[in-house]
Structure 1
Amino acid sequence: MNSAIGKLYPSTKFCFILLVIIASIFTPGHWFQYAMFPLFAVLSLFSGTFVKYLKAYLSSILLIVVLIFAVQVFIVRYDDTTPIWAFIGFSQTGLTASLGITSRIAAICAAIMWFFQVTSTKDMVYAMERANFPKKMTFVIISTIQMVPQMSALSATILDAQRSRGIETEGSLMTRMKAFVPMLGPLVLSLIQQTEERALALQSRAFLFKARKTSLYQIDKRPVDTVIQIVCLAAFVAYVVWMVIA
């Protein structure tokens, strides 16, 4: 967050990834889309989040992309499917379809993952409040973003508590499943309790009060942010014109 890229205004980074997502969806072929991962890997290097970005991407998105690719090419049946063994076959149509699907998933996920790693939650809240977003919409968006990390941290805490009581939580798949089921009860109850605490906190902060609130935390939109947003807008217009002409 302390890098030059991380200090950009949230809406500036959002304009950039929105441009990338639109271009990735509508650009024919798959080479442009697959090039987005190296691009955002380089950006994450300059942002100081390269290791975190690479680890998160390879451990999640890459597995999904490989799975979809394998199913589309070797499992799904098309008219030109050539049998290889049992239910496994090869299809050129499936290969073309899988390249189109996986390339877009890879590009969009690369952009979104990079954005959330270089933009803090408080920056997003501040930017949305200054953009006069509805307060309820802001709360829903931020709560959704924070839900997965909070659940992961809470799950780790519950697992540590189970280990301290001598419950086996590691080993075979069956052992892990036996440890996972008893964890669901405390996890759900803790989430409900946190929801109640969050509601009380919102009430104490006059969440529904309509007057514009002040903030001790402030970020300023600099001239470089304006330049980047103008460049993104110009690139979007040029892309639309190119798509219409092409």
Structure 2
Amino acid sequence: MSTLYMVATPIGNLEDITYRAVETLRSVDVIACEDTRHTQVLLNHFEISKRLIACHAHNEINSAQGIVNLLGEGKDVAFVSDAGTPGISDPGARVVSAVRSAGFAVVPIPGVSAVATLVSVAGYVGKTFTFEGFLSPRKGRRTKRLEVLLARNEAFILYESPFRIVKTLEEIAALDSARTVVAGREMTKKFEEFLQGRASEVAAQLSARQAIKGEFALLVAPIEAEAADDNDSEA
């Protein structure tokens, strides 16, 4: 049976791709991607030549039907987003739903995710965390959502652009001055950087720079992130 492969790709350093992902991209008939130009750079690096079709947030519903049609013709298809694991703040979810509904197999090819990358270097953040992704650009909605997330007193992770990172940090500081954050910038790339401290402190560090470049992943820690003793038994 024809198969759709959801393939995770690097978030920066091209060498972070898995062997299995490379072999999958080499073996399929068609690669559906968020941006064909972006994916072509990755394919050129590994000397892979395949037919590419665009499937991004603005055409995902129509493209999903096109992918179903390709699978119906007996072709195997790989889906990749610009970076990281498809479906996590990236297109892909609608494609998977359409393909499953049509009766075709969907196989994950796991790999890099900016969420997991940041958590791995953030220190103890508690047993649970929420992945929020990008907040609404509308101030009222953004503030209300931050209030809900902070009230839970659990770690949560945001994605943010270099143009709004300071504003977001300042909003967090205004709502809860005690919160510690870890900001990952340009993760896995040449100028990778991690900043940790109170939200107001990190905002001040970034504000002092002449320019802020690169996408951010931001982890907001709970007020008290105390490691639980897994050996504790119930009374």
TM-score by length of 1: 0.24
Using CA pairs under 8 Å that are at least 6 residues apart, name the structure with larger relative contact order, 1 or 2.
Answer: 1
TM-score by length of 2: 0.24
